[in-house]
Amino acid sequence: MKHITFILGVIAGSMLLISCNSDREQATGDSGFAEVSEAKIDSLINQMTLDEKIDLIHASSSFTSGGVPRLDIPELVFSDGPHGVRHEHGRGWYALEDADDEATYLPVGISLASTWNKDLGYDYGEVLGNEAKQRGKNVLLGPGINIIRSPLNGRNFEYLSEDPFLTGAMGVGYVQGLQAQGVAACPKHYTANNQETDRHNIDALISKRALHEIYLPAFRDVVQDGGAWSIMGAYNKVNGQYTTHHEYLNNVVLKGDWEYDGVVLSDWASVKDTREALLYGTDIEMGTELLRDFNNPVYDEFYLANPAKEMIENGEIDEQLVDEKVRRVLRLMHRTTALTDHGPGKRNVEEHQQKALEVAREGIVLLKNDEMLPIDRTEVKTLAVIGHNANRRFAGRGGSSQVNAFYEITPLEGIRNLVGEDVEVVFAEGYEPYYDESLFRGEGGDAASQSRENRQDVELARTANEDLMQEAVNIAEEADAVIFVGGWIHGHEGMPWGQGTYDAEARDKLNLKLIFGQEDLIRQINSVNDRTAVVLMGGSNVEMENWLPDTPAYLHAWYPGMEGGTAIAEILFGEVNPSGKLPMTFANSHEDYPSHSIGEFPGDGTVDYAEDIYVGYRYFDTQNKDVLFPFGFGLSYTTFEFSNLQVSKQEDRVTVQTTVTNTGDREGAEVVQVYVHHKDPSVERPIRELKGFEKVQLDPGASATVTIELDESAFMYYHPENLEWVLESGSYEVQVGNSSRDIKMREEVVW
């Protein structure tokens, strides 16, 4: 836990001292609710037949696992919902028509991480917990905390960061806020689900060091600091074994080293073998009907149903293994709304909508601003808003994270709502989305890429609708300023679930080139109007070198939720000062990333993580590779100055203290980022690794002294041969800045 002290000074000289704990109260096994009685659990297990035990460890419908009515043990009710409780399914797979399932649609996970605000992580989880509880859910399947290894992963929008520390810090708050409502968090996908292509079959070849330094820490954090009550296995293999029933990951690390006492839940259809599932840590099997008979699942034939019962009855497997799974399931039920009254919950209330707006405001990242923003309404009579995404709604798309939103304000609506009659807003779609298999990879492997092998003209599939483009250029030429809203999309109308999608589950992008002719459109708009701001949506960056130099301003908005259009408009017109910071490095091409330049993506049966620990900025900064926008970067409408760095060590803790001053003329927020570097290591180590951060809001002229404490784990590495964490003696450099490429001050500390 890190303890932060803020000293806020104003120009008049008055001082206010505020001490606070940077994390909310740690979630314990019972999170302040009724203590789980292990004796009661043992009593229930002793009363069960083998059939009843088996019923508890596999699905009983699309989103429930079995109960024992004779003993008043209910089914567990699950729901997707990393950024909003998913629409209602009932007992079948397809969404129910006319269900009362409208929900608050929060900004997506990568947007939450872009806030660099741990308190918002807690609040975000609290909203989800209340809405899930009101809908009768016991377990919410989130947060998504897989590391962003490649920008092409179609599911990156659900995840948090390329950095394990940032991912863990934001994930802990989410888990605690969610479980404070009595709804179990289920962090996913454990582990190394870093691509959607061939996700059911690929074998990720990862060193133990990379596992422990990059891909496991966030899961450790949400288990040990967040107190997560359940965790979801992934589809892929790691080093030869499926992760959902992985002896090392589940038995040795999760339930052994981390002393995890919760439930390991399979992803839907991620169990592949009965014996391994029984032996290697799977506690509940879900969704296997997806690979059998989608419309007529036979739950008694799941791997952890009749096949497991037969193994026990013929003596191949000890029944105590099932008892241990049942014990974990009952423990989960006692902790959650399944067997304990945690209150009624609430849904679609104003405070939830306000929280969605706050996350959107702080998660949108201003990446370029050549004095164009904020727009002065008194100087603009006609504003051209161009781009399909300006008027597109995203909540009901993207795969399993889709939400039936209570409402969703588009950027066009947000702009019109804000300017009212002061500014004439003219809209042109500019381009239209269309389905083209050549623009992405499917989860079935490389079938699409095979059809591309003889196609050198992929650019032809990215051409724009000439009529729409010309209409857009015409209105841009006549306008006082232009807002272009484009980027990636979720899905296409009329396409089956999981198909025709460019930023969604079950699909990976082919590259980072802007689709549907947007690049040509931006260039033409820039040629006729030199006051153009580009706003891009999506879970990753795009190639920019052909349009960014001539573009005065660029905002990256991710998928900003139900109030996203409001937040975008507020930032464009200066009602809100942007404070988001990138949680991933923005290089120009996917080929620049180490997963492509050193390792493999998407691989062919196996995927070699040859880049090892050098993921994201660890690679770019250590190798001094050019990037467009570095990790942790984000602009503001005000300016900040860092000063007075003091680094001191006492026993096993290092205290880092620095002063941040708002030197501009408007209120704003800055993120103090603390990186650590071992100056003379015995093994290769990155030039910097994020180990602490804090966001501080300051009035003009005000200062804050920010104190961040680092324990010895911040200086350790995982020994590649001894396979243990090591704190190596020597000199370490503590680096403080506001991005990985903008280090303001450095001090040394010796261990």
Active site residues: 267
Q: What sign does the CA torsion over 146, 121, 213, 367 have? A: positive
The string of DSSP codes covering 97-154 is: TT-S--B--PPPHHHHHHT--HHHHHHHHHHHHHHHHHTT-SEEE--B------TTBT
CA distance linking residue 516 with residue 649, whole number of Å: 55
* Spatial CB neighbours of 657, under 8 Å, sequence gap ≥ 6: 644, 645, 646, 647, 705, 706, 707, 708
Q: What sign does the CA torsion over 177, 183, 184, 186 have? A: negative
CA distance linking residue 277 with residue 282, whole number of Å: 5
Residue 185 half-sphere exposure toward CB, CA atoms < 13 A: 38
Query: Is 578 within 8 Å of 635 (Cβ atoms)?
Result: yes
Q: What is the DSSP letter of 74?
A: P
Q: Please list, residue by residue across 370-401, b when 16 or more beta carbons sit within 10 angstroms of its beta carbon and e when fewer do.
A: eebbbbeeeebeebbbbbbbbebbbbebbbbb
| Amino acid in position 116 | W
CA distance linking residue 38 with residue 42, whole number of Å: 6
> Dihedral (C-alpha) 231, 238, 224, 251: value to the nearest 10 degrees?
80
> In the chain, helix, strand, coil percent, each to 5?
30, 25, 45
Nearest to 436 by CA among 541, 487, 507, 539: 507
CA distance linking residue 25 with residue 384, whole number of Å: 48
**Preceding amide of 560 cis, omega within 30:** no
CA distance linking residue 365 with residue 580, whole number of Å: 4
Q: What sign does the CA torsion over 197, 199, 203, 206 have? A: positive
Cα 228 → chain centroid: 16
Nearest to 325 by CA among 288, 287, 278, 286: 278
Residue corresponding to tokens 């807002």: 483
* Spatial CB neighbours of 449, under 8 Å, sequence gap ≥ 6: 441, 510
Largest CA distance in the chain: 82
CA distance linking residue 439 with residue 458, whole number of Å: 8
Q: Please list, residue by residue across 85-112, b when 16 or more beta carbons sit within 10 angstroms of its beta carbon and e when fewer do.
A: bbbbbeeebebeeeeebbbbbbbbbbbb
Degrees, nearest 5: CA angle 468-489-119: 135
Query: Is 115 within 8 Å of 580 (Cβ atoms)?
Result: yes
The helix-helix angle for 564-572 and 411-419 (nearest 10°) equals 50
> What kind and span of H or E run contains 77?
strand 76-80
CA distance linking residue 627 with residue 616, whole number of Å: 11
CA distance linking residue 283 with residue 298, whole number of Å: 19
Nearest to 243 by CA among 290, 212, 276: 276
| Amino acid in position 486 | G
CA distance linking residue 6 with residue 336, whole number of Å: 36
> What kind and span of H or E run contains 426?
strand 424-428
